[in-house]
C-alpha cells in the first residue's frame, strides 16, 4: 500500500484496514464525500479492532505519540497503538518513518528536504 499524508489510520491500533461513513449520490452510487473528515468515533470503523473508532492521519498519530511518556531507556511507558509499554521509541519512530512519503524527519519533524534549496 502507498502511504500519503492523507492516509487515514485507526487511532486506537494504527491499522489502515478501516472504513468510514460517506455520502453517496443515490442515483449514480458515486462517492461524494466523507460524513466527517477525519472520521470521528461515530463515522469511523476499524476492521482490526472490529469497533467504531476515530480515524486519524499520520500527523495526528504523531501528535498523539508526543503525549506518551518515555523513560530513561528510550522506552514508551504507556501502550501506544499496537505497541506495548516498554517498546523502544525507535521502533515506534521506524513505524512512522515507513509511513511518511518523505520520511519521518521531513514530514513530521519539520526538517527541510534539501538544505541547499533555501
Ligand atoms: Zn483499530
Tell me the C-alpha distance between 108 and 61, whole Å: 10
- What separation in angstroms does the CA of 47 have from each of 14, 21, 67, 105? 11, 14, 26, 30
Residues counted in the chain: 118
CA 1 to centroid of ligand 1, rounded, Å: 17
CA 118 to centroid of ligand 1, rounded, Å: 40
Tell me the C-alpha distance between 100 and 31, whole Å: 27
Q: With 90 as the cut, is the pLDDT of residue 21 above it?
A: yes
Q: What residues does each domain of the chain span?
A: 8-56, 57-111
> What pTM, to 2 d.p., does this model score?
0.89
pLDDT in tens, 67-117: 999 999 999 999 999 999 999 999 999 999 999 999 999 999 988 876 655
CA 3 to centroid of ligand 1, rounded, Å: 17
pLDDT of residue 118: 46
CA 93 to chain centre: 12
pLDDT in tens, 56-66: 999 999 999 99
CA 19 to centroid of ligand 1, rounded, Å: 11
Amino acid at each position: 500500500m502507498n502511504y500519503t499524508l492523507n492516509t487515514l489510520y485507526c487511532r486506537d491500533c494504527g491499522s489502515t484496514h478501516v472504513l468510514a461513513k460517506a455520502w453517496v449520490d443515490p442515483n449514480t452510487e458515486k462517492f461524494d464525500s466523507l460524513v466527517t473528515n477525519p472520521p470521528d468515533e461515530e463515522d469511523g470503523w476499524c476492521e482490526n479492532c472490529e469497533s467504531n473508532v476515530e480515524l486519524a492521519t499520520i500527523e495526528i498519530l504523531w501528535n498523539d505519540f508526543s503525549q506518551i511518556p518515555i523513560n530513561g531507556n528510550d522506552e514508551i511507558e504507556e501502550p501506544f497503538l499496537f505497541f506495548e509499554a516498554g517498546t523502544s521509541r525507535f521502533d515506534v519512530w521506524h513505524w512512522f518513518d515507513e509511513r511518511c512519503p518523505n520520511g519521518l524527519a521531513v514530514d513530521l519533524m519539520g526538517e527541510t528536504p534539501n538544505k541547499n534549496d533555501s
